[in-house]
Amino acid sequence: MPLAPIPLASLRKLGVGLKRPEDVVVSRGGAVWASDQASACAEILPGGALRRVGRAGGAPNGINMDSAGRIVIANFGLGTAPTGPLQRLDPVTGEVLVLCDAIDGRTLVASNYPIVDRAGNVWCSHSTFDRAAAERGLADGFVYRVRPDGRAGKLADGFTFANGLALDADEAWLYVCQTMGRNVVRLPIRGDGTLGPAEPYGPVLGVPAFPKATPAERATFGATDGCGFDQDGNLWVTLVVANKIVAITPRREVVTILHDPAGEVMDWPTNVSWGGPDLCDLYIGSIRKDYVLHARSPVPGLPLVHQR
């Protein structure tokens, strides 16, 4: 299918009233859930109302689902909580369990994004232990994994603010957005479950951000946030400060899908998620707005574990 740009005018606001809706996940049955700092996650009902569920504390950030329909939450550790664990929400009861709160004896403070593989392992990025230093390029971001039996361990480190994650259709590679590196890297998943060395996937996507930039200058900023594959193998990447969404094609070309230079509707887009019967309902999270955005995608999303 052609990877055509999405008109800004086609974007529709959903879930108005959310607090810091950084990410969206859509269940196999079509339920639309957003991360919500006022609860844990909120279901956006068909009429637009919110059904807030659970109490996560901190800042629920990236979210995903396991095959049982439970919502996995990477907590970024802001607000009411100084820590940033990996949590799991039961959307029926509202119970929030901690899946992992420390790696190598060190308390997690900034878990960012989780993704679940076919075997039920949860892969999660941890952005940094020092937010201010990370903005200056500190490379202390890492990826950890929690197995179905609860065992957890670090798989790779040395990332400049590890952010969004994606798995390709074959689960042969793990893709990691480096926000301060302004790029995406990928790591091979070996047969024994360990990760090989990182390699760049596509080009550096822009210049470092700087204050008081004009909309035209912001459009060149390359800070990456979230990512996700469509069914044609294009990796969609949100350029959060640029108010832009691009796709890296299998040929490593970069195509602009959406751009809101002034951030009037799409302001600081953080993640892309697909749902609906044809997986062409596109949802865009944000940390600047109190809603998520919906549009029709020109290409269906790659179904995640819980959507297969």
- Rg over alpha carbons for the chain, rounded to the nearest Å, is 17
Q: Which CATH architecture has domain 10-307?
A: 6 Propeller (2.120)
Q: Give 110's pLDDT tier (boundaries 50, 70, 90).
A: very high
pLDDT at 81 over 90: no
Q: How far apart are CA 57 and CA 82, in angstroms?
A: 9
The one-character DSSP state at 41 is E
Average pLDDT, the chain: 97
CA distances from 225 to 11, 27, 228 (A): 20, 22, 11
**pLDDT for res 229:** 98
Per residue in 177-196, pLDDT (tens digit) is 999 999 999 999 999 999 99
> Measuring CA to CA, which residue among 36, 59, 37, 177 is closest to residue 110?
59
What's the count of helices (H) and strands (E) in the chain, helices before strands? 2, 26
Q: Give 80's pLDDT tier (boundaries 50, 70, 90).
A: low
**pLDDT for res 2:** 76
- In sequence order, the β-bridge partners of residue 247 are 236, 255
Mean pLDDT value of segment 8-18: 98
**pLDDT for res 262:** 94
Mean pLDDT value of segment 233-245: 98
Domain locations in the chain? 10-307
pLDDT at 264 over 90: yes
**pLDDT for res 172:** 98
User: How is 202-257 classified by DSSP, letter by letter?
Assistant: S---SBPP-TT--HHHHTTB--EEEEEEBTTS-EEEEETTTTEEEEE-TTS-EEEE
Mean pLDDT value of segment 236-265: 98
pTM equals 0.97
pLDDT at 78 over 90: no
Query: Higher confidence at residue 251 or residue 2?
Result: 251
Burial of 308 (0-12, 13-18, 19+ CB in 10 A): exposed
Give me the phi and psi of 284, to 5 degrees please: -125, 120
**pLDDT for res 1:** 67
Of 34-38, 81-85, 92-96, minimum mean pLDDT range: 81-85
Residue owning tokens 């700092």:
37
Per residue in 201-214, pLDDT (tens digit) is 999 999 999 999 99
Name the E strands within 19-178.
Answer: 24-26, 32-35, 41-44, 50-53, 60-65, 71-75, 86-89, 96-100, 102-103, 106-107, 111-116, 122-126, 141-146, 152-159, 162-167, 173-178
pLDDT at 145 over 90: yes
